[in-house]
Amino acid sequence: MKLRIHGDSVRLRLNRSDVEQFRTSGVCAASLRFDSNSKLTYTLETSPQLTEIEARYLQHCIRVLLPLDMAQEWASSECISLSFNPEGGPSLLIEKDFQCLHPEERNPADDADAFPNPAG
């Protein structure tokens, strides 16, 4: 899972393995280690209590939570992305990661588990 933060927006991009893990377990997590004592963790999680997408930050963890029915529909369908622009919080974009179309920018390791690009 890739994390992109730009201004007041958070974007998560999941490859095929990430989406399958999320579909079956309800959680996909990754982290960025800064040193042996600190890391930033980011997760995509399902929540049966929610009715809309939500983001939380607590104890060095960015948690993006999806309502259970929305999560199951997105992970099990051809739907590419989900977005939400809450008042008072970051805009959120969750999307399936596609193979790169530009050969000069292509990273074979990244593309191996990416979704086939519909524009390619």
The mean pLDDT values, 10 residues at a time, for the chain of 120 residues are 95 95 97 94 97 94 97 94 91 87 60 69
Q: What is the pLDDT of residue 85?
A: 93
Could you give the CA distance from residue 104 to residue 94 in angstroms, rounded to a whole number? 26
DSSP H or E run through 3: strand 2-6
Looking at domain 2-99, which CATH architecture does it have? 2-Layer Sandwich (3.30)
Q: What is the pLDDT of residue 112?
A: 72
Q: What is the pLDDT of residue 3?
A: 96
Q: What is the pLDDT of residue 87?
A: 87
Could you give the CA distance from residue 95 to residue 22 in angstroms, rounded to a whole number? 13
What ranges do the domains of the chain cover? 2-99
Could you give the CA distance from residue 73 to residue 86 in angstroms, rounded to a whole number? 21
Tokens of 60: 């060095």
Q: What is the pLDDT of residue 113?
A: 73
Residue 85's Cα: distance from chain center in Å?
15
Tokens of 95: 């999307």
